[in-house]
Amino acid sequence: MTRTFWVGGNWKMNGSVASIKDLATTFNAGKTPADVEVVIGAPYVYIPLLADTLRKDWAVAGENCYVHATGAYTGEISPEMLADVGAKWVILGHSERRHILNESSEFTAQKVVKALAAGLKVALCVGELLEEREAGTTQVIVNTQLDAVVSAVSESDWANIVIAYEPVWAIGTGKVASPEQAQEVHAAIREYLKAAVSPKVAEETRIAYGGSVGGKNCKELAQKPDVDGFLVGGASLKPEFLDIVHATQ
């Protein structure tokens, strides 16, 4: 089957009203291939602005959410709130949540369940640290991160999940996993899904690559058979993002 190519932007803790209006104007003027799905993740406070100004064939994502709809959880944002202000997706399990804020795979899985129940689609991030890659435990780490979600969701839920493989050593460092390294891990993730969930889910689930993706390396990465898209950090804050959207063309 042909999996629809998925390109996500993750603005992280960046942006302003002025810069987002400028970016939306730039992105709105660009062309998007009919067979590519585009999602932009923005800080909570800018999601309504982005949802209002961004082209309607692109979706907006939250960069995180909590595990309850409402309550005494000062500073947290529920998936229902994200949906209420225009988000269609949420990014969960990013390495910066796992390693800076010490969020566990089990907590991430709880968020995935809650987000799906609220009607959001999920970009689920997984990936290894440099020392884990050097120790040869990349797939053990990735599989363990996936195990928690596999145990928490149903087979049908995977239709609304994109897996983003992001080697932590390549995020914001300028280092990029080679196309061969990316393909190796993506293929292994697909084999994992085949055994842990089902062959159908393994075949249909999109696996995006993230880690210093830019206009110069995106086309070669996109040619790999198990690379179904990208989750883009810094380059998604630049006009260069449109080049990445066209990586398969």
Q: In the numeric block, which tokens belong to residue 106?
A: 């089990």
pLDDT, one tens digit per residue, over 82-119 is 999 999 999 999 999 999 999 999 999 999 999 999 99
Contact 161, 201 (CB under 8 A): no
Please name every residue paired with 133 in a beta bridge, in sequence order, or none if there are none: none
Q: How many residues does the chain have?
A: 249
pLDDT of residue 70: 98
- Rounded to whole angstroms, how far apart are CA atoms 221 and 23? 25
pLDDT of residue 115: 98
Nearest CA among 133, 189, 129 for reference residue 161: 189
- Rounded to whole angstroms, how far apart are CA atoms 3 and 202? 11
Percent of the chain scoring above 90 in pLDDT: 94
pLDDT, one tens digit per residue, over 196-229 is 999 999 999 999 999 889 999 999 999 999 999 9
Nearest CA among 212, 130, 216, 221 for reference residue 174: 212
Q: Is the pLDDT of residue 150 over 90?
A: yes
* Average pLDDT rounded to a whole number, residues 153-167: 97
User: Which residues, 6+ apart, have CB-to-CB distance to 30 below 8 Å?
Assistant: 242, 245
pLDDT of residue 172: 79
User: Which residues form the catalytic set?
Assistant: 94, 166
pLDDT of residue 219: 97
Q: Is the pLDDT of residue 174 over 90?
A: no
Q: Is the pLDDT of residue 29 over 70?
A: yes
Q: Is the pLDDT of residue 32 over 90?
A: yes
Domains, the chain: 5-245 (3.20.20.70)
Per-residue 3-state assignment (H helix, E strand, C coil) for 12-70: CCCCCHHHHHHHHHHHHHCCCCCCEEEEEECCHHHHHHHHHHCCCCEEEEECCCCCCCC
88 DSSP assignment: -
Taking the complete model, does pTM exceed 0.95, yes or no? yes
pLDDT of residue 1: 64
* Average pLDDT rounded to a whole number, residues 76-83: 98
